[in-house]
Structure 1
Amino acid sequence: MLFDPVVFENLKVALENQLYDLDNLDSRILITDRKDIIDMAVMSRKWSLGFTLPHRKQACPLKAEMILSSSIRDLSDEILERKGTTPACSLLLRFTCFVEQPLIECPIIERIIDETWDRGLIPEQRLTATFGDHTLPVDEWVPRYYENIIDLPFNRRINEEQMEDLESLIEHTIRTLEALDQVVL
């Protein structure tokens, strides 16, 4: 007996195909990381593909990551064909970069995302710094830079009906990465 692939698998394969073509055929991006995780404790799936711009290969980190996830409830609703449910997955875009002056650069990053996406998506920016510059006394330590992890969650879930939108989603992600490249380390 053959089974149809679930929504998660179909979206994952579609995203992978388009992103790998942009890396291998078009050289517009450079794929740097891929994860395909099954969490057996809660029976969830999570797939992510990270990429950067080709000239950033050796430079300070600036990357985008597309993260697709599905819970056991999503999977069971789809396989059991439960009435009143629509099989779908969650999508999160994550951008990672370094900033030196967060009070200046973080509002610029928010504006870039707002202008690029034009959908009222509100990014969540989380800054971290690693302690370790021992040339200054501890009470005078100030980070040289901060890692900024920018999450861009979508307020709706996606399924195969949005398959045609994936190309536009990827293009917006690359445009965001290119714009960030102009303002961050």
Structure 2
Amino acid sequence: MMFDPTIFDNLKVVFEGAMYDMDLSGELQIVNRTDRVELSAMSRSFGMEAVRKPDGAVKGSFFLKASLADLSAELLAEQGKQPGCSLELEFVYPIQEPARDCEEAEAILRSIWGEAPSILQVVQTVYGQEPSVRTNHVTVQFSRKLDERQIDDIPSLLEHLALSMERLERQGNAASR
């Protein structure tokens, strides 16, 4: 019997290949990769994290996720349910002035991704660390599920990820002057 890959499996292979192509071309450098099966919730997630250059200040990641409900909708061909995967992007980088830098980050990401995704920014600081270093953790969540119909869009999506990293890094360099 042949194994029929799920939507998650197919998207994962394309995302992974496209990221390794960007790493091979020198556009990004992959620094982490996660591939998880959560047995308690029967969900899967796959993600890769990269920087633009070895000393890049902005780490950019994508996370592809499929829940039990997503898998069930696909395998059982449940009526009225849209099978697919959720996609989340994350950017982590140091900031100087939270109010100013977060507002600028929101504007940069909206100019690239538009108004559709939700953007959440969480600023963290380490207690007792002097000088105080603040880190912005930005999450971009897409409400629409992905499936094989978006496979051709994945390289472009990852180019937008790299562009977001470049512009956030440029913002950070300008803010530190």
Give the TM-score taking structure 2 as reference length: 0.92
SS at match of 1:149: strand
Q: 2:82 matched to which residue of 1?
A: 86
Alpha-carbon distance between aligned partners in 2 of 1:96 and 1:176, rounded to the nearest angstrom: 11
* Aligned residues between the structures: 173
SS at match of 2:171: coil
Residues 78-117 of structure 1: per-residue CA shift (max 9 Å, x gap): 1222223232000001111110111111111111001112
Asked if 1:12 corresponds to 2:12, the answer is yes
Q: Which amino acid aligns with 2:31?
A: T
Q: 1:71 matched to which residue of 2?
A: 67
From 162, 169, 185, give the equivalent of 2:157: 169
Q: Which amino acid aligns with 1:17?
A: G
Shift of 1:183: 1.5
Q: 1:44 matched to which residue of 2?
A: 43
Unaligned runs of at least 5 residues, structure 1: 135-142
- Contact 2:86–2:143, Cα closer than 8 Å, also in 1: no
Residues 21-80 of structure 1: per-residue CA shift (max 9 Å, x gap): 1101x11000011000111111110111001102xx235x41111000011111122122
Q: Which amino acid aligns with 1:118?
A: G
The structure with the larger Rg is 1
Give the TM-score taking structure 1 as reference length: 0.88
Alpha-carbon distance between aligned partners in 1 of 2:129 and 2:135, rounded to the nearest angstrom: 15
Unaligned runs of at least 5 residues, structure 2: none
Q: 1:178 matched to which residue of 2?
A: 166
Q: 1:29 matched to which residue of 2?
A: 28
Alpha-carbon distance between aligned partners in 1 of 2:6 and 2:39, rounded to the nearest angstrom: 18
- Contact 1:34–1:50, Cα closer than 8 Å, also in 2: yes
Aligned counterparts, 1:13-162, within 5 A: 13-24=13-24, 26-54=25-53, 57-58=54-55, 61-133=57-129, 144-162=132-150
Deviates more, 1:37-46 or 1:73-82: 73-82
Aligned CA-pair RMSD: 1.5
User: Per the alignment, do residues 81 and 133 of structure 1 end up closer, same or farther by CA in structure 2, a change over 3 Å counting?
Assistant: closer
- Contact 1:101–1:145, Cα closer than 8 Å, also in 2: no
Q: Which amino acid aligns with 2:7?
A: V
Q: Percent identity?
A: 31
Q: Which amino acid aligns with 1:172?
A: H
